[in-house]
Structure 1
Amino acid sequence: MLFLKNAEELRFERFNRAGEKMLGYSRQDLLGKNDFDLFPQEQAEFFSGKDMAVLESHEVAEIPEEPIRVANGQEKWLHTFKVGLYDDEGRPTHLLGISMDITERKLAEITLKESRHNLAEAQRMAHIGSWELDLVSDALFWSDEIFCIFEIDPQQFGASYEAFLDAIHPEDREAVNKAYTDSLSNRQPYQIEHRLLMNDGRVKYVHEHGESVYDEDGKPLRSSGTVQDISGRKQAEISLEHANRALHALSTVNRELVHATEEEALLQAICTAIVEQNYYRMAWVGYVQHDAAKSIRHMASAGDEQETLTRVQPRWAEDEYGTGPSGRAVRTGETQLARDIANDPQYQSWKDELIRQGYVSSIALPLTASGQVFGILHVYADEVDAFTSAEVDLLEEMAGDLAFGVNSLRIRLERDSAMAQNEQHLARMHESLAGTVNAIARAVEARDPYTAGHQRRVAILACTIAASMGLDESRIEGIRMGATIHDIGKIQVPAEILTKPAKLSDIEYAIIKEHPGVGFEILKDIRFPWPIANIAYQHHERMDGSGYPQGLKGEEICLEARIVAVADVVEAMASHRPYRAGLGMDKALAEIRQNRGILYDTVVADACLRLFEEGSFSIEDV
């Protein structure tokens, strides 16, 4: 089960189908809800507490066992991994969770404990089958319970030691005989667990205990003992073992999914993780090819595959090469289980090669995305009927998680590529915008040779002030652009007024004072990501409301314009003008110092004064 919660309210935003099946809720029932909407108060508090701890820790959290009450009221057990997802500034945006249903394993553990308890009780009460072998006459006696365990008709049984050996699984006969004969030689009791092979092919497991009686010369006279049917316990152990190996593989796979960054590396890690459980002989991943042969391309593998995969080249076409599990899994989109390759009538292609390599059973699992099969995961084992139903369920979940991980990596790659292209586009746009702004600035200053370079110097000083105030780079860039064309409105002022070498008349000064408004009208409809139009409009406003053209006060003036205003005054007073010589930097700074907090923003004024007092900035160097 995979789920995605938002970090703010821990509400579900994504949920896969395995989660719907596991919890018994539809996706519509889950999305937008949080734990308190779905689970009892105590359980919801536990889940949400774990979620918040994970987001705060910036680490992957593993919860080996946690009970959960599903939609139908049934209690299930989950093995869960949780990890936080964060933005570029490290703030949590989402929580990703991967949960595995370990209910089968928990029930198997409970069943195993109960079975062991029952066995101890049965031994204590002697509620087991008994036997006795007369070693002089070779006559064997069985109680009725043993005949039931062995499923043998008393009338058909030869009642001898050889007949007893014949009833044991062929692969265990030698071990059982050795255990008994060794006990006679060593004059010690023996016990052994072994299998019985039933006529219908079923296998039973029994626990056998025996001891012998000897004459004065040490010659064995007779042996007696008990037999206990432990099939239930052994099946529970086998089921638990199979569930655990699949669960371990699933757990390792999910760890790889959490940290995966490349698709091919992920596929190889998955195959390696499956084989390293020491129960599976080989695992490989193939991708569906839409070529003429309808081949399945080998992408990654692990185990004893080096020689085999060079000969086995599966297809998904409906011909003799596509009849195997891989091809059927692709065509049907369903898991294909071969319990016994040698006797599977559908396993025609490459059967002999697989048997020669020691592969006895296999499972082919389709990998799907958006309802389409794009690949298969094929796992092989070296024993008949190696995959239990619980194991198949876990492997199917693992294949689903793998497909989800591959699809997520592809989406991430597409997103990163799009973001890179977008960043390149933005960079080109920024270069173009900066070039346009500089061109406009040069056009304005071309009409007023006495103030040539004024806007550029104001921009440099304003950016230096902004940087010393701790503004971010994007805002400083906006100040640079705005200051570079803050006098753009002067393009409408007659050149003879701009270059007049004498004091302006009231009418001429009134015309000059219109340039902030003209600049605003020129710039207001251009969609800059910064307040460029307001910088041009407000750079002659003053904190006490005595400025123009709007008479704004204090915070009504945007910070960018307050910074440009101080830089503009310093540069204008220190530089030459048509109607006067430059007043010098000392008088310019005295003006700022005298009117800080009155005409000029206190923080901006102090930052400007500090630059010059510390010698870290000089207008002459600009």
Structure 2
Amino acid sequence: MKTCPNCGYQRRPIDDRYGIISAGECPKCRVIYRKMETPAARANDAVSDTTGKIKHESISDRSPSNKIDSAGDSTIETIEIQQDNHKDTEGYRKAYLVADNNRYAGRSAATHHLTGFTTLRQGGQELERINAEFSKHEAATVENEGKFKAIWESVQTGIVITDPENHVIVDVNPAAVRMIGASREEIIGSVYHQYIRPAEVGQCPVADSGDLANRSECLLLTSGGGKRQVIKTAANVTLGGRTHLLENFVDITGRKQAEKSLRKSEERFRLLAENAKDAIWTMDMDFQYSYLSPYVKQILDYTPEEYMAKPLKETMTAASVEICRRVFAEELAIEAKDDKDLLRSRTFEVDHLHRNGKTVPVEIKMTFIRNNAGRAIGILGYTRDITDRKQAEEMLKKSEEKFRFLAEHMNDNIFTMDMNLKTTYVSRSMEKLLGFTPEERMKQGITEQVTPASLKVIEQILSEELEREQTGLADPDRSRKFEVEYYHKNGTAVWVENVISGIRDEQGILTGIHGVSRDITERREAEKALRESFGRLRKALGATVQAMAIAVETRDPYTAGHQRRVADLARTIATEMGLSGNAKDGIRTAAMIHDLGKISVPSEILTKPAKLTDLEFSLIKTHAWSGYDIIKDIDFPWPVARMILEHHERIDGSGYPNGLKGEQLLLESRILAVADVVESMASHRPYRPGLGIEKALEDIEKNRGILYDAEAVDACLDLFRTKSYAFPD
């Protein structure tokens, strides 16, 4: 491009055929520039027969003389050359005259060069026409160059122009720059094989053999050493009169990775399909198999190829063929809807035909294979042999029938409830038990079934069981037994024993209650009679024991009331220690007659007011064994005889009659021992006055854990010192 010294506009030099070598016509201000080989002058259309005034400015490479005042030609009035940055003299149009060697001619030379001005004007008009035509073509060229540049810079395909003789890259577009990862300046001038086809250094298939690559795959190296897969196309182009190689390439690395992943996915699918315990298959929309996994051999004894060659009607029973056609028709009807679920599947059961002629029950699950538009183009499914399941279901059905038969004909009532205590099932025996039919019972709420007191019992039990559930530690197979009163249809109340357990889902979550109800009216009446009889017996036993105690006190009047007071204290200590009611009753009974053996001791020794001799004391010691011998054959509900035998034993083994220690003694015996010592020391004896309760407490406190049981001592001390216990009168 050249710059117009007149207006600053930039443009190309015009063609040599117009006789212009290094100058041209400015399309903006219409000034013509030219360097002449001979002493001649040229002017553009600004020099016309209407102006009569020409202004000359230098375009030479050195400053001209300051002024040429006159050219001496009548056509030219003034020729003025200035050095003031081409400022125009107002009212003058412009023309440039150039002499040999780009030097200004003197005054006479300027006149000489303009003598042919009339001829020049005619030539200028022709030149103006030619320049106008050239400008039109040049504008089109500029537009095309702009389009080419836009494509070159924006296209996503990498383009490289290479000199085939030396394999050097001469140009590269931005897309190729991005792929290679180096700057444009670094790439241009590099050897082609530095980046493309690195294994073929020094070779050029196009230049050497003329084999233009058409969409061939090759390797591209990035500037960072990375490798990318590309598809390359090459073509010969002529630039500057020489043949060059234009190659474009598209990065297919992502596609190759996707293809590799797809192959791996297909391999995994095939591996799964061929090793699955189901026959996996695909069909087209005309029920023609396109794939069938090998497991069909295990199910039907056919190879995949054999089975796929059979028509559908030969692979299953006629009824099953109709099921398949009906299911397929229903699915096609759904396909016609706009709101269909594209991911839906369908499961159904049919009977296939085995090679041996037998039928094999199978479960089929199918779904449609779809194209990118979501249209169904095939079927994907699996076939599962459900022979074992069918046999299990048949066995379960028979088992249920047996269970139902038993449930309907047994005397006990069987029922199920949900977690809101709504009856969900009840056996026919309900009618025999309470007079309601199963249908009537299932319509009743729990408040209509049981008495208010029994409802509280049920609610309490359910609350306790739910708390156990929340701990996560409860036995899921546990059961609970309790007694409640149900309403009979005739208005009476019937006592029933319920045994309940939980109903659980597959995750082990409690979802309901299963129970068995049994009429215990007769049993309760029998228990009531037994309790009454036991009460009478207990009362008689108590009277007998009391009589024995009185008999002892008759022999030893000084100890009158001793056994009764010991019995009260021992029972209170047992209560303080948390023993059961039955254990407390046993201790009280034994304490009431613990000195029964003194009947065998002479009354003179029992009532002697002085200290006993060793012989006399040894006789006294025999009362433990004597009491035991008297009681041992009586069938008390407690170990009374043993407590009588051990009430003088001490936990350190220093007691009598057997010198037993610690855990060898019954707990009841150890309690009785503490109560006996406290009462004896506090009360009057023939050979000494009473020592008082505080002295007795000091003794057991001092010998706590030595002679006496520590827990029994603590309970006794607490009774007297904290709870103000006192012996009864």
- TM-score scaled by length of structure 2: 0.33
- Structure number with higher relative contact order (C-alpha < 8 Å, ≥ 6 residues apart): 1
More helix by share: 1
- TM-score scaled by length of structure 1: 0.38
Which of 1 and 2 has greater Rg? 2
